[in-house]
């Protein structure tokens, strides 16, 4: 198994996909290594996306005061910068490689063409991975909105944080 296949096997949504489909999908990506670079800048056109295979990516948004603010640190294995696949043409954040990273890289144009391939098992698997990534992002956003609503007094907590954490703990 080459490194591209290894990275894809760890991506949410691709865990039950057969090896031949993973192999075909892996061949569509370029494997890249970067160190300490800016992958993209907030406001730039979303012309490519990545799957983080190793290392960390810092997500930075610009505050209304024009000051940069790190809003997240992404870790493997994560679909990164896929807003262009969702019809959002410009970057909502700056992505910085925090040290050395290995990524799978594809242009947005190639990914959209892949997603638009009807009846393809490779397209179906890739679509599942994009949906899983978007679902995870929406879930995180919903949790953050709920926390903010409680903090500013627009909502009251339904259950305590301790009860929530206890319910999420595997026994």
The candidate with the shortest Cα–Cα distance to 126, out of 31, 57, 26, 7, is 26
Which residues on adjacent β-strands are paired with residue 102? 33, 54
Look up residue 45 and give its DSSP letter.
Answer: B
The candidate with the shortest Cα–Cα distance to 132, out of 70, 77, 56, is 77
Length of the chain as a residue count: 171
For each of the chain's 171 residues, which pLDDT tens digit applies? 799 999 999 999 999 999 999 999 999 999 999 999 999 999 999 999 999 999 999 999 999 899 999 999 999 999 999 999 999 999 999 999 999 999 999 999 999 999 999 999 999 999 999 999 999 888 877 787 788 788 888 888 776 666 656 655 444
Which residues on adjacent β-strands are paired with residue 38? 96
CATH of domain 3-168: 2.60.120.10
Question: Domain map of the chain by residue range?
Answer: 3-168
SS (H, E, C) 70-112: EEEEECCCEEECHHHHHCCCECCCEEEEEEEEEEEEEEHHHHH
Q: Please state the pTM of the whole predicted model.
A: 0.85
Q: Residues 28, 34, 58, 135: what is their CA dihedral angle, to the nearest 10 degrees?
A: 10
Distance CA 115, CA 119 (A): 10
């Amino acid at each position: 198994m080459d490194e591209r296949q290894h990275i894809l096997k760890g991506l949410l949504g691709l865990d039950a996909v057969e090896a031949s489909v993973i192999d075909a999908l892996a061949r569509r990506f370029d494997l890249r290594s970067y160190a300490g670079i800016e992958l993209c800048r907030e406001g730039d056109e979303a012309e490519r996306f990545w799957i983080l295979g190793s290392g960390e990516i810092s997500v930075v948004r610009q505050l209304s005061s024009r000051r940069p603010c790190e809003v997240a640190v992404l870790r493997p294995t994560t679909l990164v910068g896929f807003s262009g696949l969702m019809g959002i043409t410009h970057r909502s954040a700056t992505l910085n490689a925090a040290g050395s990273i290995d990524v799978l890289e594809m242009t947005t144009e190639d990914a959209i063409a892949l997603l638009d391939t009807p009846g393809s098992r490779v397209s179906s698997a890739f679509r599942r991975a994009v949906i899983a990534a978007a679902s995870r992002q929406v879930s995180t956003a919903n949790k953050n909105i709920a926390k903010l609503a409680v903090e500013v007094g627009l909502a009251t907590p339904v259950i305590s944080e301790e009860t929530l954490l206890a319910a999420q703990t595997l026994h």
